[in-house]
Structure 1
Amino acid sequence: MDITAIDHIELFVEDVDEAAVHLRDGFGFALAGRSAGKGTRGCESVLLWQDEITLLLTSATGTDHRAAEYVRRHGAGVGVIGLRVDDAEAAFADAVVRGAVPVAPPESFGRGGAQVVFASVIGFGDVEHRFVSRDDPAGPFASFIQEVGCGRGGGGLLTTVDHFAVCVPAGTLDDTVRRYQEVFGLSLTFEERILVGSQAMDSKVVQSASERLTLTILEPDVTRDPGQIDAFLEAHGGAGVQHVAFLTGDIATAVRKSAESGVRFLATPSGYYDMLTPRLGPIGITVDELRELNVLADRDHAGVMLQIFTESRHPRGTLFYELIDRRGARTFGSNNIHALYEAVERQRASGPVVLD
């Protein structure tokens, strides 16, 4: 199947209005619509847009909607990754033949040149992939959403979804990757083992032929000390999306504006920046500005990448977001993990660790 784009991300949340306010104020998303009939589908939804990113926020109004069970088991998080394809019905049938577990059979909305088709299968854990085909890509999202006509357009803080970071239980990484290759037609593009002190994790990246869907899949090494992947899996109750990475063309502006609007980003030990120039050389932005903003930097064979992670707002400490500014780089900043660890160790050796 040919996955041409990420059509939308559906977040299952407890309160759609509260979640929408955070994403609108903090990251510059615009309100695009909400449920046409309050609770008529067993849920309430709010639609947000920004450039190429579409977010559908959904909370259950009763116990029968899938969002209710998802939130009970995992807390708020990514429940659906919508995949744009030419023919959702054919993609659904093909995926099921290849071994995908069906969730929802094809359902059509609209007619006469504006038809939209949804059809869903399980991806990993309780996260589903919803195949979406649209006669008019610029047309309405779906008939159950009453749109407000805000328009899409660029000029915001964020442009598109760069990748999803997915945590899976130990021993399931290879099977998960194989399923994405065999069922969804993705290719393995990158793999590495990451050692951080006494902790370790294995990572494999799968990507669609269009390069519009990228999953960085991580599993912990349970023979070593528990780390952040173990913590996510325990708090989340199994496999899930740890973070969504949004691409930005100007990370300094995006971080400043988001921080001014109340978004809390992870702090970086000051010592990390002391070794940045010797490690990377010139990167097109001053170390002082990176230090001020807590932005991380890395370099690969293709160029430079700047990135920062938000704190999780959720009681379980699960889902969070990444802002990433790619200046040619094609990898995912794994060197930053080592650099951060070494910086912390240097500060521990010289005294108490202070996160700026």
Structure 2
Amino acid sequence: MEIRAIDHIELFVEDAEEPAAHLRDGFGFALAGRGGAGTGLRGCESVLLRQGGITLLLTAATSADHRAAEYVRQHGDGVGVIGLLVDDAQAAFAEAVERGAVPVAPPETVGPDGARVVFASVEGFGDVEHRFVSRENRAGPFAPFIEETGCGRGGGGLLKTVDHFAICVPAGTLDATVHHYREVFGLSQTFEERIVVGGQAMDSKVVQSASERFTLTVIEPDTSRDPGQIDAFLAAHDGAGVQHVAFLTDDITTAVRTGGERGVRFLSTPESYYDMLTPRLGQVGVPVDELRELNILADRDHAGVMLQIFTESRHPRGTLFYELIDRRGARTFGSNNIQALYEAVARQQAARPAGLD
């Protein structure tokens, strides 16, 4: 199968309005549509958001037996579906099942002639499913069960597309997860590393589609060492899941300034990090004082520079958060910034009120 792009991300949430408002107000997503009982959705209500090439569907259950209700009961709000754009969803579903995928929903065709959409789902990792999507008109409406507002797919905005997903898996399952994505979905492993921070350690591998539009950074903790943030995520989330979604931007300084003014809270970075930045990397295209002011991290690989920043988690369990990433040639994921990220997340966790763990 050829995975062309991320068609959409569906978040299962307790209340769709509050997180949708935050994504609109803070990150600049536009309200693109709504769905519910009046539009053909059963057991749930959804809000559709768009910005650049990113489509988010936030779904809250209105019936206790809807899948979103079960997901939120176990994990809290989080990514429940990653929609994958393919040329033929029915064929991709059949191929994935033949290769060992567990089916979730068989192919279903919806919409009128000229704008028909086919959806079909299989299990991915943890309780996250992959929904194959093929569209007669890729610029057309999302689906007939969403009443759209007329907001187009393109337009302005500071965020361009989904760069990657970082997913945490239980210790001992990294290799099996990577093997599953290579064998079932045809992804290729492009990167691997072991990261040690103090007494903690984790191992990660990156798998990517041939189109380079679907990328997973898969992380497992090393349980022979001190418990760390990957262990904490797995415990709080109650199993494997998406730790963060990375959005690609072409102008991270403007995106961070704008997001900060709109109420997005980003993780802070120790002053000492910036003292060593120029000796470590040389010039990165943005003055160090501006990076320091905005708490933006920088890294360099064989192909170029990468600038990145992570938001604080607004999740009551301290799990899901977001990343903004500005790739100036770099193709890796900022492994040299992991220690700074760990320290920043540790400070946020230490500051959380008692009783939220």
Q: Distance in 1 between matches of 2:173 and 2:110?
A: 37
- How far did residue 338 of structure 1 move? 4.1
Describe the superposition over 1:179-207 as per-residue Cα deviations: whole angstroms up to 9, x where unpaired.
00000000000000111111100000000
Per the alignment, residue 348 of structure 1 pairs with none
> 2 CA distance for matches of 1:287 and 1:245?
23
- Equivalent position of 1:352 in the other structure: none
Letter in 1 for 2:8: H
Aligned residue in 1 for 2:293 = 292
Cα–Cα, structure 1 residues 343 and 54, in superposed 2: closer, same or farther, change >3 Å? closer
In structure 1, what is the equivalent of residue 240 of structure 2?
Answer: 239
Superposition deviation, residue 111 in structure 1: 2.8
Which residue in the other structure is 1:65 paired with? 66
- Asked if 1:258 is matched to 2:259, the reply is yes
CA deviations 1:102-135 (Å, max 9, x no partner) are 1111111113121100000000000000000000
Q: Alpha carbons of 1:66 and 1:209: their partners in 2 closer, same or farther (altered >3 Å)?
A: same
1:153-164 equivalences in 2 (<5 Å): 153-164=154-165
Aligned residue number for residue 349 of structure 1 = none
Q: Secondary structure at the match of 1:4?
A: strand
Judge conservation of contact 1:37–1:144 (CA < 8 Å) in 2: no
Cα distance between partner residues in 1 of 2:68 and 2:33: 19
Change in CA separation of 1:281 and 1:237 when aligned onto 2, cut-off 3 Å: same
Task: Return closer, same or farther for 1:101/1:300 CA change in 2, 3 Å cut-off.
Answer: same
Long gaps (5+) in structure 2: 346-357
When residues 342 and 27 of structure 1 are mapped into structure 2, their CA distance, relative to the original with a 3 A threshold, is closer
Q: Taking every aligned residue pair, what percent have the same amino acid on both sides?
A: 81
Please report how far the alpha carbon of residue 340 of structure 1 lies from its aligned counterpart in structure 2 after TM superposition: 6.5
Conserved 8 A contact 2:36-2:42:
no
- AA aligned to 2:233 is F
8 Å contact from structure 2 (residues 12, 58) kept in 1: yes
The two structures have a TM-score, normalised by structure 1, of 0.95
Give secondary structure in 1 for the equivalent of 2:47. Answer: strand
- Residue-by-residue CA offset, 1:252-271 (whole Å, 9 max, x unaligned): 00001111111110011111
Native 8 Å contact 1:197 1:341 kept in 2: no
Q: Tell me if the contact between 1:205 and 1:214 (Cα under 8 Å) persists in the aligned partners.
A: yes
CA RMSD of aligned residues (A): 1.7
Correspondence for 2:355: none
Judge conservation of contact 2:269–2:340 (CA < 8 Å) in 1.
no
**1:1-356 paired onto structure 2 within 5 Å:** 1-35=1-35, 37-38=37-38, 40-338=41-339
CA distance in 2, matches of 1:29, 1:289: 25
Q: Structure 2 vs 1, CA of residues 61 and 341 (structure 1 numbering), >3 Å: closer, same or farther? A: closer
Change (3 A) 1:224 1:305: same
Give the structure-2-normalised TM-score.
0.94
Q: Please state how far the C-alpha of 1:336 moved relative to its aligned partner.
A: 1.1
Q: Deviations over 1:211-249 (max 9, x none)?
A: 000000000000000111001000000000000000000
- Structure 1 position 177, deviation (Å): 0.2
Task: Give the count of matched residue pairs.
Answer: 346
Residues 99 and 183, structure 1, Cα contact 8 Å, conserved in 2: yes
In structure 1, what is the Cα distance between the partners aligned to 2:240 and 2:78?
11
How far apart are the structure 2 equivalents of 1:211 and 1:226?
Answer: 33
Change in Cα spacing, 1:70 to 1:330, as seen in structure 2 (3 Å) is same
Contact 2:103/2:122 (CA < 8 Å) preserved in 1? yes
CA change 1:316–1:8 in 2 (3 A) is same
> In the aligned structure 1, how far is the partner of 2:171 from the partner of 2:265?
30
Letter in 2 for 1:90: A
Post-superposition offset of 1:337: 1.9
8 Å contact 2:268–2:344 — kept in the other structure? Answer: no
User: Shift in Å at residue 155 of structure 1?
Assistant: 2.2
Task: Give the CA deviation at 1:40.
Answer: 4.1
Aligned residue for 2:3, secondary structure, equals coil
How far does the alpha carbon of each residue in 1:305-335 deviate from its partner, in whole angstroms, 9 at most, with x for none? 0000000001100000000000000000001
What residue identity is the alignment partner of 1:321?
Y
In 1, distance between residues paired with 2:160 and 2:306? 16
Provide the C-alpha distance between the structure 2 equivalents of 1:171 and 1:50, rounded to a whole number of angstroms: 37
Q: 1:342 to 1:258 in 2, by over 3 A?
A: closer
Q: Compute the displacement of 1:37 (Å).
A: 3.2
User: How far 1:342 moved relative to its partner?
Assistant: 9.6
